[in-house]
């Protein structure tokens, strides 16, 4: 509505194309409006009254205002598929603004949050509205253990693990185990949508020791990804 009126005013004034272009930059319809910046109250321990909202697919920000007398964070009440809070910010001191990670994956709805430092009494709500945006697909990975000889794994000290991402995924970590014993770990892998990678997990010295004996060894790998579901794989190496 505001868009049409403003443009009409410029046109009626017989403005040059330049002014119309400037108006388009200001009122242009393609970009979603910016997500709200959730604010802590400068005096401990509440959030400012709000309400806070964002469009689908946006990342909300959290600001702890300059002069605030305590550090705070924004942490969702509900858990997400990775077992951590559905969305979360770092804990920040006064005069700092950080993204509230994970809000780009939220469906339309209203989500409660609190500050883990000060407990459930410091709480607020974030409304996700349809707006002009669209929800960002949640990170999703599939982990498999390719066929490989036990001898080769023993001799090289490396276990091959394949990770495939169906959507853009970052913060991927892998943990290989034999029973409850950890053989190898890795973290920090990023993959674009549709990409796959074979990772050679370097066995820890205790891991090498754990697979030294026997004609076959059962190994399992758990792949975790921030804000997405974990993926598990098993194989008996011979
Ligand atoms: Cu707090």
Task: Note the pLDDT tens digit of each residue in 200-210.
Answer: 999 999 999 99
d(CA 51, CA 206): 53
Calculate how far, in angstroms, residue 67's C-alpha sits from the geometric centre of ligand 1: 14
Q: Is the pLDDT of residue 3 over 80?
A: no
Calculate how far, in angstroms, residue 114's C-alpha sits from the geometric centre of ligand 1: 8
Q: Are 69 and 216 in contact (CB under 8 A)?
A: no
d(CA 178, CA 209): 11
Calculate how far, in angstroms, residue 76's C-alpha sits from the geometric centre of ligand 1: 13
pLDDT cut 70: percent of the chain above it: 86
Calculate how far, in angstroms, residue 47's C-alpha sits from the geometric centre of ligand 1: 8
d(CA 89, CA 38): 11
Calculate how far, in angstroms, residue 130's C-alpha sits from the geometric centre of ligand 1: 29
Q: According to the model, what pLDDT value does residue 16 have?
A: 38
Calculate how far, in angstroms, residue 73's C-alpha sits from the geometric centre of ligand 1: 6
d(CA 94, CA 96): 6
Q: According to the model, what pLDDT value does residue 133 have?
A: 87
Calculate how far, in angstroms, residue 89's C-alpha sits from the geometric centre of ligand 1: 12
**DSSP run (H or E) holding 196:** strand 196-202
CA angle 87, 92, 94 (to 5 degrees): 135
Q: Which domains does the chain have, with CATH numbers?
A: 31-129 (2.60.40.420), 140-237 (2.60.40.10)
95-146 pLDDT per residue, tens:
999 999 999 999 999 999 999 999 999 999 999 998 888 999 999 999 999 9
pLDDT band at 170 (very low <50, low <70, confident <90, very high): very high
Q: DSSP alpha helices (H): ranges in 119-190?
A: 150-156
Calculate how far, in angstroms, residue 40's C-alpha sits from the geometric centre of ligand 1: 8
d(CA 164, CA 142): 5
Q: Is the pLDDT of residue 157 over 80?
A: yes
List, as ranges, residues with CB under 5 A of the ion ligand 1.
72, 115, 117-118, 122
Q: What Rg value do the Cα atoms of the chain yield, rounded?
A: 25
Q: Tokens standing for 229?
A: 């579901």
Q: According to the model, what pLDDT value does residue 33 have?
A: 56
DSSP strand pairing (140-144 vs 109-115): unpaired
Calculate how far, in angstroms, residue 78's C-alpha sits from the geometric centre of ligand 1: 18
d(CA 196, CA 1): 46
Phi–psi pair at 218, nearest 5 degrees: -90, 125
15-56 pLDDT per residue, tens:
333 333 333 333 333 344 578 899 999 999 999 998 999 999
Q: According to the model, what pLDDT value does residue 35 have?
A: 83
d(CA 15, CA 5): 14
Calculate how far, in angstroms, residue 187's C-alpha sits from the geometric centre of ligand 1: 30
d(CA 35, CA 125): 14
Calculate how far, in angstroms, residue 120's C-alpha sits from the geometric centre of ligand 1: 10
Calculate how far, in angstroms, residue 201's C-alpha sits from the geometric centre of ligand 1: 39
Phi–psi pair at 91, nearest 5 degrees: -80, 130
């Amino acid at each position: 509505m505001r868009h049409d009126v403003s443009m009409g005013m410029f046109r009626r004034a017989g403005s040059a194309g330049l002014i119309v272009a400037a108006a388009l930059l200001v009122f242009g319809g393609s970009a979603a409006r910016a997500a709200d910046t959730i604010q802590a109250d400068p005096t401990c321990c509440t959030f400012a009254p709000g309400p806070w909202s964002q469009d689908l697919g946006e990342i909300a920000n959290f600001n702890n205002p300059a002069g605030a007398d305590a550090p705070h964070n924004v942490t969702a009440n509900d858990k997400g598929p990775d077992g951590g809070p559905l969305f979360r910010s770092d804990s920040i001191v006064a005069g700092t603004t950080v993204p509230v990670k994970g809000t780009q994956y939220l469906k339309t709805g209203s989500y409660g949050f609190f500050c883990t430092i000060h407990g459930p009494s410091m709480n607020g709500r974030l409304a996700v509205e349809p707006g002009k945006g669209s929800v960002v697909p949640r990170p999703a990975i599939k982990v498999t253990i390719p066929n490989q000889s036990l001898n080769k794994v023993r001799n090289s000290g490396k276990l091959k693990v394949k990770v495939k991402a169906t959507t853009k995924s970052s913060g991927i970590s892998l943990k290989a185990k034999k029973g409850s014993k950890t053989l190898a770990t890795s973290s920090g892998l990023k993959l674009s949508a549709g990409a796959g990678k074979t990772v050679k997990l370097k066995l820890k010295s205790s891991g090498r020791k754990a697979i030294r004996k026997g004609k076959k060894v059962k190994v399992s790998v758990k792949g975790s990804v921030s804000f997405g579901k974990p993926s598990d794989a098993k194989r008996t190496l011979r």
